[in-house]
Chain A
Amino acid sequence: MSELPAPETAVQGSSPPGTPGHDLTSTTSEAICLEKAAVTYHSSRTGDVTTALAETNVTFEAGSFTALLGPTGCGKTTLLNAVAGFVELSGGQILIGQRQVVGPGPDRAVVLQQYALMPWMTASANVEMALERFHLHRAERAERARHALESVGLKNAAGKYPAEMSGGMQQRVALARAMAAEPSALLMDEPFGALDAITRIAMQRLLMTLWEHTSTTVVFVTHDVNEALDLAERILLMSPGPGRIVADLDLRSSSIRSDAVERDKLYQQILGYLLPG
């Protein structure tokens, strides 16, 4: 990967702020707060109890961008799924703003590695699904979906089916769908893991543009140290057995984006955590 700071080129197709009509900038972000949250799995076959996520206290500030970084089995996906409401806590609680998480909800949009678009719906229909909860008129719903697709550079793909699109395009639709729901939090589980290196960089830049425009709270799961360093304001390092947070790195005042030597130092430091011994 490149050590040079990426030049600030505009992401293809990203709309400038202040697009007329209802664009993606109206998202309100909220803090996510885990209080003594823990997840254990019971195996019905062996009767074993596995601690996927040990008791965790952490707050993701409103509008922040946090990467959960760690190897397989460190509980990063479990933490994300708990916030999403896909897995039940065995203890503690999770708050979105003031509301306790009891299940999946449209205030938390999830973007997964496998896109999870409905193959029987066009790109536009996929995005419109996320707008159902606003109970809009058909025309307005279509208009908002068009805006959302435009903001990810897919103005002309509204009528395409997922099978007719590349992986990068599908993930753009998934991102447009997530942002169209105007979530308080955007939860991403290795969203660019299945993409080729070039598409991946384009998607990372697109995500940064969207995040800067919407300032939604982003929690980003990855096992790629460089990706975490490229994108996040804060990195939570996680470790397996049992899954837990082992380090909390605040990068907001760090110079890694402009100083390659600093960045490399931090890279080595992170590896030191992740590769003990």
Chain B
Amino acid sequence: MGTLVARRSSQKESARGTASSRAVNLDAGGIHPPGKGFTLRRRLLRLARSAGQRLALVVVCLLMWELVARSGLITKALFPTPLQTWEAAKSLWRSGVVGGDLRASLGRVAVGFLIGSALGIAVGFATGVSRACNALLGPIITFLRPIPAIAVVPLSTAWFGIGQKGKYFIIAYAVVLAVWLYVHDGVARIPSVYVRVAKGYGLGRVKVLKRVLIPAAGPAIVSALRYGSSVAFLALVAAELGGAQNGIAYRLQVDSQFLQTGRIFVGLIELGVLGVSADYLIAKTGKRFVHWSTS
């Protein structure tokens, strides 16, 4: 009898225990999204740590570069050290070559990328939404996709000469295929329940496109543009090697004829930095539009 009473009271205890612990949880702010509670000091510390890590990575890379350059693995005259590369960059900058090349190359990439991605998004939506469109255009695009930009250069030269139009054409060609694939896939994967619900509430075709399909495809569009931007730089090299008077890749070719490896390194680093920057810019801007996406 006594044990029964005792057991009952302990049950009560535990019941009260769970109730109070729940109250504590609510007080602790279970409804706030995680990460908001960080103090400024902790955030600064974290920032400093990640900056330190990145700096360390750069230092390690420069050191390894220096070591490989000095090792003589590749003839020392043809493998510039970081310092020699820096000197080459400075002289290129002073002579105005870097500025001119950057302007020319960035202009080509920008125009080609804009044309290619606009077309890629439009066609991606068309083939993603409409089966008839996909039946018509899908095979054509799939046929073109394995044909690289560099293989299109001779045709471009024949059609447009070695002017700017040809460069735009080559870059846009590569970008449209890359962007189309991602956008098409993203649109085709939009859960049908979204469209169903929207149509159920009486939204017409245009509104379904604007309010449902475009936002739903948002994350895929951002991925498509990021990938498209890197493809644009690959195509830029093909375009400029196919005949140009300026530009980063044109400079690479010229410098290679004179074995100016320091200047070649500068050009390669320029391409890398531009590619990373474009990707970062698109990813950051994209995040503003698809902030709701968990991916």
Contact = CB atoms under 8 A, between A and B. Distances in A.
A116 B198 CA distance: 10
Contacts of A161: 292
B201 A130 contact: yes
Contacts of A177: 201
A163 B294 contact: yes
Nearest to A107: B202
A114 B292 CA distance: 18
A133 B202 CA distance: 6
Contacts of B197: 110, 116, 118
Interface string A118-131: 11110000000110
A118 B294 contact: no
A118 B293 contact: no
Contact of A120 (B196, B201, B215): B215
A181 interface: yes
Contact of A129 (B201, B216, B292): B201
Given A114-B193, A119-B293, A132-B207, A84 B198 contact: no
Contacts of B199: 103-104
A108 B33 CA distance: 36
A95 to B, nearest CB: 18
Interface string B178-219: 000000000000000110111111110001000110011010
A92 interface: no
A106 interface: yes
Nearest to A119: B292
Contacts of B193: 112, 114, 116
B106 interface: no
Interface in B225-276: none
Contacts of B196: 86, 104, 116
B290 interface: yes
A159 B177 CA distance: 38
A167 B202 CA distance: 26
Contacts of B293: 119-120
Contact of B200 (A105, A119, A121, A162): A105
B9 to A, nearest CB: 25
A132 B202 contact: yes
Nearest to A180: B201
Given A116-B197, A161-B292, A106 B215 contact: no
Interface of A: 84-86, 103-106, 108-110, 112, 114, 116, 118-121, 129-130, 132-133, 161-164, 177, 181
26 contacts: A84-B200, A104-B199, A105-B200, A106-B200, A106-B202, A108-B200, A109-B201, A110-B200, A112-B193, A114-B193, A116-B194, A118-B197, A118-B211, A118-B212, A118-B216, A119-B293, A120-B215, A120-B216, A120-B290, A120-B292, A129-B201, A132-B202, A132-B203, A132-B207, A163-B292, A181-B201
